């Protein structure tokens, strides 16, 4: 199982470094997404024009996000020519947006319910009695104990919103890019079953380390230096590396999952008139 997953990751990485034109398109889309997010948060709502700009970036950022996901999904399906990649991405992003709406609603519901549960079981209840009779310590007070609420609820949020729902979304996006929206909805149970098999979870875990954990460490880890110019240069290098790891890790994760499913050019082979292509069967997993 692990060997097949690592082979799929290696194949996706080689495909990425050989397709510089497609990588340029993906990089430009990612830069546009980051710029729209920055302008949305940086624009102050003081005048009517600035308010209109904020509304514009608020609409542009989600659209660019789904166009980028459509481009990455189509690139994973061996659409490496820049012109064809951009054309297919603009044609597929609406379908990817539609198939993502239930996942977005489910994520909002999960966060809401977990917040309600956490409010129902506050971590401060265990220490409530301490306020009734204050204790004077001769030295510094002992550290605050860890409560189960501090571990369970953040872990559930991370597992459901950070792993399970994105993993389901990635497979749905790959299926929409490969065989179309209608065929994906007809066989959605098979798509979701493939999303949570052992190989798929392993590939996503490796990808999460590359496109999630490493960029976080690069951005939020400070290198102590005495010169402000050197510190600024190191920060710029860290931002550049975070950009590369985030984008490349996400693309390679998509590509590895597509290769593991037996996707690629087969998905675009023949599309019969009047509907989407049939969903290909998943390749049997090897232990």
- pLDDT tens for the chain, 287 residues: list them: 788 888 889 989 998 888 899 999 999 999 999 999 998 888 777 788 888 888 899 999 999 999 999 999 999 987 778 888 989 999 999 999 999 999 999 999 999 999 888 888 876 654 544 444 555 555 666 666 677 777 888 889 888 988 899 999 999 999 999 888 999 999 999 999 988 988 899 999 999 988 889 998 988 887 777 787 888 888 889 999 999 999 999 999 999 999 887 643 334 433 443 344 444 444 444 43
Residue 107 in domain:
yes
Residue 63 in domain:
yes
Distance CA 271, CA 30 (A): 30
Q: For residue 188, which phi and psi values (nearest 5 degrees)?
A: -65, -30
Neighbour count for residue 167 (Cβ, 10 Å) = 22
Distance CA 170, CA 158 (A): 17
Q: Which two tokens stand for residue 14?
A: 């080689």
Q: Which two tokens stand for residue 28?
A: 């430009």
CB 192 within 8 A of CB 168: yes
Q: Looking up tokens 């149970």, which residue turns up?
A: 189
Q: Which domain holds residue 15?
A: 2-121+149-268
Q: How many CA atoms lie within 13 A of 231 on its CB side?
A: 8
Residue 130 in domain:
no
Whole-structure pTM value: 0.80
Residue 13 in domain:
yes
Residue 193 in domain:
yes
Distance CA 226, CA 7 (A): 44
Residue 244 in domain:
yes
CB 43 within 8 A of CB 54: yes
Residue 211 in domain:
yes
Residue 261 in domain:
yes
Number of domains in the chain: 1
């Amino acid at each position: 199982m692990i060997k097949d997953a690592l082979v799929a990751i290696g194949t996706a990485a080689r495909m990425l470094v050989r397709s510089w034109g497609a990588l340029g398109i993906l990089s430009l889309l990612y830069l546009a997404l980051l710029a729209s997010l920055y302008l949305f948060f940086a624009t102050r709502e003081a005048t009517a024009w600035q308010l209109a700009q904020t509304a514009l970036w608020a609409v542009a950022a989600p659209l660019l996000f789904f166009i980028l996901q459509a481009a990455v999904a189509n690139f994973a399906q061996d659409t490496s020519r820049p012109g064809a990649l951009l054309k297919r991405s603009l044609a597929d992003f609406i379908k990817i947006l539609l198939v993502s709406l239930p996942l977005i609603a489910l994520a909002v519901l999960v966060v809401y319910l977990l917040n309600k549960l956490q409010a129902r079981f506050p971590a401060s209840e265990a220490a409530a009695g301490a306020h009734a009779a204050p204790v004077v310590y001769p030295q510094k007070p002992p550290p605050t104990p860890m409560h189960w609420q501090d571990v369970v609820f953040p872990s559930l949020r991370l597992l459901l919103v950070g792993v399970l729902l994105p993993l389901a979304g990635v497979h749905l996006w790959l299926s929409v890019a490969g065989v179309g929206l209608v065929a994906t909805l007809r066989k959605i149970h098979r798509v979701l079953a493939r999303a949570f098999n052992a190989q798929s979870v392993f590939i996503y875990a490796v990808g999460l380390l590359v496109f999630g954990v490493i960029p976080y460490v690069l951005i939020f880890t400070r290198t102590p230096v005495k010169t402000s110019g050197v510190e600024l240069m190191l920060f710029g290098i860290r931002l550049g590396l975070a950009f590369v790891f985030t984008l490349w890790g996400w693309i390679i994760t998509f590509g590895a999952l597509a290769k593991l499913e037996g996707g690629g050019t087969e998905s675009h082979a023949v599309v019969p008139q009047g509907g989407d292509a049939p969903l290909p069967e998943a390749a049997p997993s090897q232990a």
